[in-house]
Amino acid sequence: MRPVLLAVDDDPEVLRAVDRDLRRHYADRYRVARAESGASAIDALRRFEERGDPIALVIADQRMPEITGVEVLQQALRIVPDAKRVLLTAYADTDAAIDAINKARIDNYLMKPWEPEQLYSSLDELLNDWQAGFEAPFDGIRVIGHRWSPKSHDIRDFLGRNLVPFKWLDLDVSAEARDELTKLSTEGASPALPLVLFPDGPALEAPEPAVLAARLGLRSRAEKPFYDLVVVGGGPAGLAAAVYGASEGLRTLLVEREAPGGQAGTSSRIENYLGFPSGLTGEDLTRRAVAQARKFGAELLTPLEACGLRIDGQYRVLTLSDGAEVSTRALLIASGVSYRTLDVPGAAALTGAGVYYGASLIEARSCSDEEVLIIGAGNSAGQAALYFAQYARHVTMLVRGMSLGASMSQYLVDQVEATPNLTVMTRTRVTAAHGDDRLRSVTVACGSEERQLEATSLFAFIGAEPRTNWVAGILERDEHGFILTGADLPVESGKVRGWHLSRDPYLLETSVPGVFCAGDVRHQSVKRVASAVGEGSIAVQFTHRFLAEG
């Protein structure tokens, strides 16, 4: 079944032009439909949704009587939240476009009249993003398990974060899952769950990430014994360094512990990144950056963890979790941070079974008509709350401080306050999590008063911890484990402690020459995607300087 592209305009001439241009470029892959009013468009969307027809794109003109384009796209957001949304505006309607970004979360807007090539370049990118997350009937990877199983969650999260398309089959609700399990059961014994089914070979029972990665063909061994630049960490800083390093001729290797994208890769929406006025998801940003790095020849290894570093003359030798060693002239540590865990009774036992760390966007569709809690007051928490509010019956943000404004960008504060099924509880902290095989409720303290909140899912965004124990005793760190660089390095007798070169360390250079640090793992870094990308690219320039020193 081909996905639907729906064009909406009350002007017959404009509607014919949109329909013509869409059919000319997309008719071989998509079904083009059109509606002559906002009301008929909303009716069509409901019919498509009831029949199970996938909707890839809704493109609506702003100036229509009775129902404007913004209102149509707001309805589309509720009926088919995964569809891409585009507004057509006249030049004078730029205020409406901004309104649509805020209210309908549109993905782009185009001004009339348009050039077909302009239309295609904009829609191609949106439709590629949509296809990447589209769960169509396909003979691809399927995962059978229980929604509240931590192991099932880990497998789904691993596949999703590594941008591997798959179909999730919840054994509690899916007849297809039960049928498949019956076929695979032998002599009354069922396979261990979660079960990963492949179209071209035997299934894997409860596989470890390394085993699953090998089966998927993810690269986990370096092609070369020596590199000009090795990057540890595949978040925005590491990916930026891989792109710039490889594009400038450096033999570049990137090593990632879990999946490319880091914490930013799990973000449901990044709206303040320069050049993307409609925002983009962390998954979109990650996929594009990975493709860009590979295009220039960078190698990416995942899942593989850096667990040791030694200095051997002019070489920096990295020890990996599989026991292999990689030598490099320059090393960039961009390993980011991990969310802190909830240190309250019941949280550890329910991790992966209703208690999650980070956005865990794969859980969003499962939260339909449920109560969801978000702990945190930063941008990541705000983005997640807005995303889950599209699916859940109600979302509650639990905030320790007096307000959101102290740690969240104002544009997100405004959106949170304008979302009707989203509540913010300030001066509130979680004191216990309750449940048997899954989360049922939590106890919260509001000042001196305690109360219980029912909830099926809790997502925690409570600060961050760097994973830097593997460089302890080698690189200078602050009391929290963040790596010191440049002017922040400790000085003794007018010189950086342990520094043996005649020059001072570069801005992003650590206490060991040729070892650089960028992104959230760096002491006093700015916790923003754009800043991390900037630091990753700047680190490559310092790498060139270091390599030129011989």
Let me know the angle formed at the C-alpha of 362 by 52 and 202, rounded to the nearest 5 degrees.
85
Is the same domain home to 244 and 209? Answer: no
Confidence category of residue 188, pLDDT binned at 50, 70, 90: low
Is the same domain home to 245 and 324? Answer: yes
Q: Coil, strand or helix: which one is 257?
A: coil
Residue ranges of E strands in 186-251: 195-198, 201-205, 226-232
Dist CA 80 CA 197 (whole Å): 28
Is the same domain home to 29 and 128? Answer: yes
Is the same domain home to 122 and 183? Answer: no
pTM value is 0.78
Per-residue confidence (pLDDT) for residue 184, from 0 to 100: 85
Among 133, 167, 201, the domain-final residue is 133
Calculate the CA dihedral of residues 189, 194, 197, 202 and round it to 10 degrees: -50
Task: Quick: pLDDT tens for 79-111.
Answer: 999 999 999 988 767 788 888 888 888 999 888
Is the same domain home to 457 and 471? Answer: no
Task: Quick: pLDDT tens for 382-398.
Answer: 999 999 999 999 999 99
Residue with tokens 């650590």: 510
Whether 287 maps to a domain, the answer reads: yes
Is the same domain home to 360 and 434? Answer: yes
Whether 349 maps to a domain, the answer reads: no
Dist CA 505 CA 486 (whole Å): 5
Per-residue confidence (pLDDT) for residue 65, from 0 to 100: 86
Whether 347 maps to a domain, the answer reads: no
Q: Coil, strand or helix: which one is 472?
A: strand
The dihedrals phi and psi of 141, each to the nearest 5 degrees, come to -75, 135
Q: Coil, strand or helix: which one is 325?
A: strand
Is the same domain home to 111 and 37? Answer: yes
Residues paired with 430 in a beta bridge: 444
Among 133, 154, 186, the domain-final residue is 133
Rounded to the nearest angstrom, the gap between the alpha carbon of residue 436 and the centroid of all alpha carbons in its chain is: 30
CATH of residue 544: 3.50.50.60
Among 414, 431, 462, the domain-final residue is 462
How many Cβ atoms sit within 10 Å of the Cβ of residue 413? 17
Give the C-alpha distances (Å, rounded to integers) separating 175 from 12, 77, 142, 181, 203. 45, 29, 14, 10, 19
Whether 315 maps to a domain, the answer reads: yes
For residues 260 and 277, the answer to whether their CB atoms sit within 8 Å is no
Whether 346 maps to a domain, the answer reads: no
Is the same domain home to 119 and 26? Answer: yes
User: What are the tokens at 120?
Assistant: 């295609």
User: What are the tokens at 494?
Assistant: 């007018």
Whether 212 maps to a domain, the answer reads: yes
Side chain identity at 254, as an amino acid letter? L
pLDDT-wise least confident of 297-306, 351-360, 366-375, 451-460: 351-360
The dihedrals phi and psi of 515, each to the nearest 5 degrees, come to -110, 115
Calculate the CA dihedral of residues 251, 257, 260, 263 and round it to 10 degrees: -130
Per-residue confidence (pLDDT) for residue 34, from 0 to 100: 94
Domain that holds residue 33: 4-133
Dist CA 401 CA 334 (whole Å): 30
Is the same domain home to 480 and 457? Answer: no
Per-residue confidence (pLDDT) for residue 276, from 0 to 100: 86
Per-residue confidence (pLDDT) for residue 136, from 0 to 100: 60
Per-residue pLDDT, averaged over 186-209, amounts to 88
How many Cβ atoms sit within 10 Å of the Cβ of residue 530? 14
Dist CA 93 CA 100 (whole Å): 11
pLDDT > 60? residue 138: no
Query: In terms of DSSP bridges, do strands 299-301 and 252-255 run parallel, antiparallel, or are they unpaired?
Result: parallel
Q: How many domains does the chain have?
A: 4
Per-residue pLDDT, averaged over 189-213, amounts to 91
Percent of the chain with pLDDT over 90: 71
Is the same domain home to 127 and 10? Answer: yes
Give the C-alpha distances (Å, rounded to integers) separating 20 from 23, 53, 55, 435. 5, 22, 19, 56
Mean pLDDT, the chain, integer: 92
Dist CA 434 CA 458 (whole Å): 11
Whether 221 maps to a domain, the answer reads: no
Is the same domain home to 438 and 332? Answer: no
Is the same domain home to 230 and 330? Answer: yes
CATH of residue 121: 3.40.50.2300
Whether 19 maps to a domain, the answer reads: yes
CATH of residue 182: 3.40.30.10
The dihedrals phi and psi of 217, each to the nearest 5 degrees, come to 85, 15
Dist CA 409 CA 101 (whole Å): 16
Task: Quick: pLDDT tens for 251-310.
Answer: 999 999 999 998 888 888 888 889 888 888 888 999 999 999 999 999 999 999 999 999
Q: Which of 543, 546, 550 is nearest to 246 (CA)?
A: 543
